[in-house]
């Protein structure tokens, strides 16, 4: 199997995960061997009866290997870390992560400082300037996980390589930000013509197996974009009023990065993912008012809520959509088709998140605003 995850780097070797096609190949070889043995037992005067065995599709030459193409940071910055571990530990794949921001390795920030855990799991990390082109890779891959491309031009070299390798799936990490609607959002809803949407269209036109996931509002271990929750903790820890738009009863979907990675990896063992788009989130929908109350429980305060209109909320850099209807994804398709369910709860995770907030001393000193 082959895996590509915007972090390029994989070493070919026998994996614990056995592709479905490998089982049929083994059966074919077994039938052939039995035919030969039976033929050898026939008297010399008799003509052996040749048994025709259906020809199996050729397995990818990079079988059992995955390539992860990883961006240098931002809202999806920690996904490469969690995805690589999932692919290596759960699915037994040889994983190579090609990481933007090279050629020198980055340090001094998460998730980079925890990449030693990936190396301990056998993941190869290749640092490169991905904007300068696709770096040279050793061997081929069965799966590609693209967590880097923001438009079709950036994705094109990886898509072309995937076609030449005969991948089992090209998994693209898109974005729920492309939805043009409001409220609860399904995969069939209207979208804007963003660069990520252009990548989805290109994948569909290329005739290779592909799957696209649209994540929304990610938090959790080793995150390097803390804005979503720090907006509230920064104020609650200082007993400051917390701005909230349009009454605060809008629905919100915040998802732990480990749950996101688990969903991104499902196409490895599930052919039903091919040719499909899936929302990537959680089924735990909370309101802005509820989130503020949960933050207050963690900090031991009772935050005052300052309700503002959506324009003022934007001015104050409120981290979520300020419209009255809310903006959150429906994940029922992923649960039904892929058999996936989130294992984390925002309410339970906030206490751990706040512990990390305090260790970083983010609640101390003068408030930086806005």
Is residue 12's pLDDT more than 60? no
- 50-54, 171-175, 250-254, 364-368, range with the lowest pLDDT: 50-54
Distance separating alpha carbons of residues 161 and 141, to the nearest angstrom: 9
55 pLDDT exceeds 60? no
* CATH superfamily of the domain spanning 67-360: NAD(P)-binding Rossmann-like Domain (3.40.50.720)
Per-residue model confidence (pLDDT) at position 20: 39
66: β partners: 3, 143
Q: What per-residue confidence (pLDDT) applies to 56?
A: 53
The predicted model gives 297-302 an average pLDDT of 95
Q: What is the pLDDT of residue 83?
A: 98
Cis check: omega of the bond before 111, within 30 degrees of 0: yes
pLDDT of residue 224: 77
Neighbours of 366 (CB within 10 A): 6
Locate the domains of the chain by residue range. 67-360
Closest to 225 measured CA to CA, from 75, 362, 71:
75
Residue 159 pLDDT more than 60?
yes
The residue-averaged pLDDT of 146-175 equals 97
Mean pLDDT of 77-87: 96
pLDDT digits (tens, 9 = 90+) for 214-256: 999 999 989 878 999 999 999 999 999 999 999 999 999 999 9
Residue-level pLDDT at 73: 85
280 phi/psi in degrees, rounded to 5: -130, 105
At 5, the pLDDT band (50, 70, 90 cuts) reads very low
State the pLDDT at residue 273. Answer: 98
* Residue count of the chain: 370
**pTM exceeds 0.75, yes or no:** yes
Q: Which of 10, 359, 76 lies closest to 213 in space, CA to CA?
A: 76
Instruction: Give helix then strand counts, H and E, for the chain.
Output: 11, 15
Cα dist from 155 to 11, 138, 172, 196, 331, whole Å: 22, 19, 9, 10, 26
The owner of tokens 């399904």 is 186
Query: What value does the CA radius of gyration of the chain take, rounded to a whole number of Å?
Result: 24
Average per-residue pLDDT in the chain? 87
Residues in contact with 286: Cβ distance below 8 Å, sequence separation at least 6, in sequence order:
251, 252, 254, 294, 346, 347
**What Å distances lie between residue 356 and 44, 165, 344, 346, 353, CA to CA?**
79, 42, 17, 15, 5
Please give the share of the chain, as a percent, with pLDDT higher than 90: 77
Closest CA to 137 of 154, 119, 125: 125
Lookup: tokens for 333: 């398709």
What average pLDDT does the segment 264-289 reach?
96
pLDDT over threshold 90, residue 188: yes
Query: Is the confidence at residue 36, as pLDDT, over 50?
Result: no
Q: What local confidence, expressed as pLDDT, does residue 225 receive?
A: 85
Whether the Cβ atoms of residue 201 and residue 151 lie closer than 8 Å to each other: no
What is the spatial distance between Cα 233 and Cα 210, in angstroms, rounded to a whole number? Answer: 39
What's the Cα-to-Cα distance from 238 to each of 274, 289, 304, 351, 352, rounded to whole Å?
Answer: 48, 18, 11, 17, 19
Axis crossing angle, helix 79-89 with helix 257-264, rounded to the nearest 10 = 50
Q: Residue 209 pLDDT > 60, yes or no?
A: yes
pLDDT (0 to 100) of residue 119: 97
**pLDDT at residue 58 in the model:** 58
Stretch among 22-31, 50-59, 95-104 having the lowest mean pLDDT: 22-31
34, pLDDT greater than 50: no
Q: Output the pLDDT for position 8.
A: 37
Q: Please report which confidence band the pLDDT of residue 15 belongs to, taking 50, 70 and 90 as the band edges.
A: very low
- Which pLDDT score is estimated for 62? 83
User: What percent of the chain clears pLDDT 70, i.e. is strictly above it?
Assistant: 84
**What is the CA angle 64-68-69, rounded to 5?**
150
Among 4-13, 166-175, 343-352, the minimum mean pLDDT is found in 4-13
Average pLDDT over residues 299-324: 95
With tokens 């979503």, the residue in question is: 228
């Amino acid at each position: 199997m082959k895996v590509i995850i915007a972090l390029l780097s994989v070493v070919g070797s026998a994996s614990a995960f056995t592709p479905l096609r490998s089982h049929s190949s083994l059966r074919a070889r077994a039938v052939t061997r039995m035919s030969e043995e039976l033929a050898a037992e026939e008297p010399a005067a008799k003509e052996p009866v040749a048994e025709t065995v259906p020809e199996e599709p050729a397995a990818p030459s990079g079988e059992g290997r995955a390539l992860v193409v990883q961006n240098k940071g931002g809202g999806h910055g920690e996904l490469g870390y969690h995805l690589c571990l999932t692919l290596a530990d759960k699915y037994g794949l040889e994983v190579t992560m090609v990481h933007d921001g090279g050629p020198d390795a980055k340090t001094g920030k998460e998730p980079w400082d925890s990449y030693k855990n990936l190396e301990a799991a056998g993941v190869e990390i290749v640092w490169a300037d991905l904007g300068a082109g696709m770096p040279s890779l050793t061997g081929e891959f069965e799966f590609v996980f693209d967590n880097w491309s923001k438009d079709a031009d950036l994705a094109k070299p990886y898509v072309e390589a995937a076609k030449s390798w005969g991948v089992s799936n090209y998994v693209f990490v898109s974005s729920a930000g492309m939805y043009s609607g409001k409220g609860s959002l399904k995969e069939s809803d209207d979208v804007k013509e963003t660069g990520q949407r252009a990548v989805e269209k290109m994948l569909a036109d290329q005739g290779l197996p592909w799957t696209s996931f649209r994540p929304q509002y990610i938090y959790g271990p080793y995150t390097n974009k803390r804005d979503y929750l720090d907006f509230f903790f920064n104020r609650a820890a200082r007993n400051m009023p917390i701005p909230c738009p349009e009454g605060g009863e809008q629905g919100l979907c915040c998802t732990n990065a480990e749950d996101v990675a688990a969903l991104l990896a499902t196409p490895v063992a599930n052919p039903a993912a091919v040719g499909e788009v899936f929302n990537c989130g959680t089924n735990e929908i909370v309101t802005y008012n509820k989130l503020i109350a949960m933050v207050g429980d963690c900090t031991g305060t009772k935050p005052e809520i300052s309700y503002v209109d959506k324009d003022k909320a934007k001015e104050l850099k409120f981290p979520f959509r300020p419209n009255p209807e809310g903006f959150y994804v429906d994940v029922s398709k992923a649960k039904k088709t892929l058999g996936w369910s989130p294992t984390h709860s925002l309410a339970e995770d906030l206490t751990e998140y706040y512990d990390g907030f305090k260790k970083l001393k983010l609640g101390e000193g003068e408030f930086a605003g806005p």
